[in-house]
Amino acid sequence: MRSVSRLGRDPAITHWIKLGHDPAYATEIGQLVEGGAVALSDGKRPIANAEIMWRALEYARMFDCAVFNTPQVPELVASGVMHEGYYSTLLGLPGIPSAAENIMVSRDIALAARTNGKLHLNAISTSVSVDLIRRARERGVQVSCDVTPHHLTLTDAELQSFESCYKVNPPLRPQSHIDALIAGLKDGTIEVISSDHQPWAAEKKDREIDLVPFGIVGLETLLPICIQSLIEPEHLTWPQLLSKLTTGPAKLLGIEKGTLADGADADITIIDPNIEWTIDPTQFKSRSRNTPFAGRQVKGRADVVLVNGEVRYQAASV
């Protein structure tokens, strides 16, 4: 498992974890936390072995940090390209069923309940996931989750274009799932919005859709797409949206970030909520251009970004 970020902890002991029977999953969780890890994850790879996940939750609990998992049953994802449903059948593309996510979400919640460990589920995308997490939280299970802007905006119908920029993991779902995700944001079931930033070189994405990798550039479109999907339809207020982009992630990771309180680090983003502009991938700071939002008219932009009080980014004038 990989460490996620920085954490100030001083555990009295260090545990060597041998999870399951695969030495590739042996991880010194105590030393990782002592070295600054704030959470444990295997990135976009699902932790498929239930025993490994169980032991990870048990040991991570000793250090009060969360285990992040991408909730997918690998065998059900396999060679899938898009959401399994009407459009995958229409287009003749291999599908990824909602059950691939729902089963893993259910399993991980059961393990978190059994171990009293902290669980975070990355990029949920189905209505069943939202319901399972909502009910688990009501029972006191320590489970959290995040959602991406593109899963709040785009449906699997976009794949009719066969454009590779719509191939993401988890796959884009029908509108009913988007509605459930938005409801989860509104009632607090989903406390974090993640960009799920996955840049790829042009030649990697300029191939047949079944051959290209999953993922899009997410950082530079995060704010305007959230505004368009959540603020303009009045699903969320500005304070609610900002909490899911700042204090929500900071709370999850146990770090003193995302606040303008006295003494806090001067990490500040200055937003112009009214500016209207067109998303142009050629103007991205990222060297990658794999976005499904090229040419979209949007409103709102991050104009200035300060890190520790120093200006690190300033938008060009429109």
Based on the residue annotation, tell me whether 64 is a catalytic residue of this protein: no
Contact at 8 Å (CB) between 136 and 152?
no
Half-sphere exposure (Cβ direction) of 34: Cα atoms closer than 13 Å: 11
Going from the C-alpha of 240 to that of each of 80, 245, 248, the distances in angstroms are 35, 9, 10
* Catalytic choice (42, 146, 156, 196): 196
Q: Phi-psi category of 15—alpha, beta or left, where left has phi over 0 and alpha has psi -120 to 50?
A: beta
List, in sequence order, every residue forming a beta bridge with 232; answer none if it has no partner. none
Q: Residue 222 carries which DSSP code?
A: H
d(CA 153, CA 221): 12
- Provide DSSP, 267-312: -EEEEEEEEEEE--GGG-SSS----TTTT-EEEEEEEEEEETTEEE
Closest CA to 32 of 47, 16, 49: 16
Quote the strand ranges of the chain, DSSP E: 2-3, 39-41, 66-69, 82-83, 95-96, 119-121, 143-147, 192-193, 268-278, 297-307, 310-314
Active-site annotation, residues:
196
